[in-house]
Amino acid sequence: MQMTGTSQRRNAGRIRPVVVLTLLFLLFRPPSPVPADDASVDLALVLAIDCSFSVDAREFALQMAGLGRAFMRPEVKQAIRHGSRQRIAVAAVQWSDENNQTVILPWTIVSGDADADELGMILSHMPRRLSQGGTSISTALLVSNALFATAPPAERRVIDVSSDGRNNIGPPVRPVRDMIVTEGVTINGLTILNEWPALESYFTAHVVGGAGHFVMPARDFDDYAEAIYRKLLREITGPGVS
């Protein structure tokens, strides 16, 4: 059946977002994991840190200090030691809108207590390195997923995304989540509920996915440190731990 000019324009408008989303995913898509070897780790973990307009200077400082202290806690160090390879790899990204993401920590191997302490100090004193903007969780996920292309071979690959808001700019987040999960990556979320009390439900429906995925809520930024500690402990230990 031949389409009229009006029908063609209408259908083109429906198809275009899907095409754009597919191109974005292919751009950021990592290659298939390489086989494990002596350089492999138990976990390759990307920390995606919200730096959007809703996160002020105090709240940003609370995020980074809480994240740094979590790696220095003895329980987290013990969890790393209890892995079969006794080491993990960590990278970190600051993000806001679809034009603002920056890698603040390239892949770093944590294989002992001294490494964990050093990483904790680096994160605790990390400055804000990008402009504030809207909340593009979808682009943050695409950029985070692309980092696995240069990660050490890992038994598990996890994106740990923290946010106090919903995706409000850039590609729709749910299709991005679904495509990343097909790569064998787990996406976990930490929701800061000071502005959106129902954000945990939103993350559950649209953001997290993959084997053993979960959402860890924090009441506000002051509660962030305890929440990120519990989240890291659960991610390092692996699925099935509450």
Chain segment 22-41, per-residue pLDDT in tens: 444 444 444 333 333 457 99
Predicted confidence at residue 180, as pLDDT, reads 98
Predicted confidence at residue 38, as pLDDT, reads 57
User: How many angstroms separate the CA atoms of 84 and 6, rounded?
Assistant: 61
Confidence of residue 67 (pLDDT cuts 50, 70, 90): very high
Predicted confidence at residue 133, as pLDDT, reads 86
Predicted confidence at residue 30, as pLDDT, reads 43
Helices (H), 129-172: 137-146
User: How many angstroms separate the CA atoms of 45 and 167, rounded?
Assistant: 22
Confidence of residue 132 (pLDDT cuts 50, 70, 90): confident
Chain segment 156-214, per-residue pLDDT in tens: 999 999 999 999 999 999 999 999 999 999 999 999 998 888 999 999 999 999 999 99
Range of lowest pLDDT (96-100, 131-135, 148-152): 131-135
Neighbours of 169 (CB within 10 A): 16
Between the alpha carbon of residue 52 and those of residues 38, 44, 99, 147, 231, the distances in Å are 39, 25, 11, 21, 21
Q: Which two tokens stand for residue 29?
A: 């898509």
pTM for the full model? 0.83
- pLDDT higher than 50, residue 226: yes
Chain segment 75-100, per-residue pLDDT in tens: 999 999 999 999 999 999 999 999 99
Position with higher pLDDT, 132 vs 95: 95
Predicted confidence at residue 130, as pLDDT, reads 81
User: How many angstroms separate the CA atoms of 177 and 226, rounded?
Assistant: 26
Are 182 and 160 spatial neighbours (Cβ–Cβ below 8 Å)? no
Chain segment 104-119, per-residue pLDDT in tens: 999 999 999 999 999 9
- pLDDT higher than 80, residue 12: no
User: Mean of the pLDDT values across residues 64-71?
Assistant: 95
Predicted confidence at residue 137, as pLDDT, reads 97
